[in-house]
């Protein structure tokens, strides 16, 4: 049989069919469908690590969770800040000794569903950590707790569009290491404290020793004042900077009170308006990193 020669139109059709097939495969792999608004996305577990105490990691996690919900995403916040857990306070969840929480789950004292609270409707789940009496038990049986954490992340990954882990800056802790290893992306939060640069270098070194690719680390500079790191500092430390947020006491207070999303740009300070805009930019960056935006599939 003689070879069949394809016309230019037929070749164009094949090219278009291939393009459509690849686009469809991208939607399938990322959980996108044409007839459903529900998305199950690829890289959607984000571990936030404060590179020093007081850099604002917890308030950023809470506010970014609220922003992602505004972007029609469902979010689970996990409070793994073992030393100073405050997500229950930020989301105004009543702290009670008998309340089942994340520590209760890790120590096998409650099933997964009992520990997650929904303070603002079903779009935001918060796995609080307020049962301080269980911390010593976690320390004495860390390997089992780390295994439980890994299993937890595997189970909730199909229930929420994004999982945000508010990690302690104790990089030697096995639970924190388990979260970093399991996370799809790591968001390092720093301010202008020189300790942050030292801890960043230490964290990347520890990750390399555990076989974790440091390219998964993105950095947010929070509370920037008039003192500024030079661009060479970021390049010398291989810091991939996602966003820089300004320092303003009013912003910090609003974030702690969970009021930042009720702030109107025309009735508040310029810095507060900038903060709101930065949150939107970071949330969009997280969506791009996760592969959950249409433009990523088109590319």
* 17 vs 278, more confident: 278
* 140 vs 184, more confident: 184
Give the pLDDT confidence score for residue 47 in this predicted structure.
94
Give the pLDDT confidence score for residue 74 in this predicted structure.
93
Give the pLDDT confidence score for residue 239 in this predicted structure.
86
The structure tokens listed for 148 are 């439980």
- The C-alpha atoms of residue 56 and residue 223 are separated, in whole angstroms, by 8
Per-residue confidence at 34, pLDDT binned at 50, 70, 90? very low
Give the pLDDT confidence score for residue 37 in this predicted structure.
45
Helix ranges, 54-193 (H): 57-70, 87-90, 102-106, 112-115, 135-140, 142-156, 174-182
Name which of 135, 179, 132, 166 is nearest 56 in CA terms. 166
Tens of pLDDT along 225-244? Answer: 766 677 777 888 878 888 88
Q: What angle do CA 156, 154, 175 make, to 5 degrees?
A: 100
Mean per-residue pLDDT, 7-20: 51
146 φ/ψ angles, rounded to the nearest 5 degrees: -65, -40
* 126 vs 211, more confident: 126
Per-residue confidence at 296, pLDDT binned at 50, 70, 90? very low
- What share of the chain has pLDDT > 70, as a percent? 70
Q: Is the pLDDT of residue 130 over 90?
A: no
* 227 vs 165, more confident: 165
Which H or E run contains 29?
Answer: helix 8-29
Tens of pLDDT along 79-115? Answer: 998 878 888 888 888 776 667 888 888 888 888 888 8
Q: What is the pTM of this model?
A: 0.79
Q: What is the mean pLDDT of the chain?
A: 76
DSSP lists the bridge partners of residue 119 as 121
User: 201 near 214, Cβ under 8 Å?
Assistant: no
* 197 vs 257, more confident: 197
């Amino acid at each position: 049989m003689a070879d069949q020669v394809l016309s230019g139109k037929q070749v164009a059709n094949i090219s278009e069919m291939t393009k459509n097939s690849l686009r469809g495969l991208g939607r399938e792999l990322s959980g996108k469908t044409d007839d459903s608004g529900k998305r199950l996305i690829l890289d959607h577990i984000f571990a936030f690590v404060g590179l020093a105490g007081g850099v604002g990691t917890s308030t950023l996690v809470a506010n970014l969770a609220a922003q992602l919900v505004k972007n029609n995403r469902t979010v689970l916040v996990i409070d793994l800040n073992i030393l100073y857990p405050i997500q229950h306070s930020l989301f105004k969840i009543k702290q009670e000794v008998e309340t089942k929480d994340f520590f209760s789950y890790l120590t096998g004292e409650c099933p997964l569903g009992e520990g997650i609270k929904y303070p603002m409707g079903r779009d935001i789940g918060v796995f609080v950590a307020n049962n301080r009496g269980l911390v010593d038990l976690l320390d004495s049986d860390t390997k089992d707790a780390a295994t439980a954490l890994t299993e937890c992340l595997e189970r909730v990954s199909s229930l929420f569009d994004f999982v945000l882990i508010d990690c302690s800056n104790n990089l030697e802790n096995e639970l924190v290491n388990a979260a970093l290893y399991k996370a799809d992306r790591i968001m390092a939060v720093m301010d202008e404290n020189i300790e942050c640069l030292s801890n960043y270098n230490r964290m990347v070194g520890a990750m390399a020793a555990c076989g974790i690719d440091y390219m998964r680390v993105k950095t947010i500079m929070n509370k920037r004042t008039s003192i500024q790191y030079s661009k060479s500092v970021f390049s010398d430390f291989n810091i991939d900077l996602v966003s820089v947020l300004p320092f303003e006491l009013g912003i910090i207070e609003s974030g702690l009170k969970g009021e930042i999303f009720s702030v109107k740009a025309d009735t508040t300070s310029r810095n507060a308006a900038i903060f709101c805009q930065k949150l939107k930019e970071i949330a969009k960056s997280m969506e791009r990193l996760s592969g959950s935006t249409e433009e990523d599939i088109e590319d």
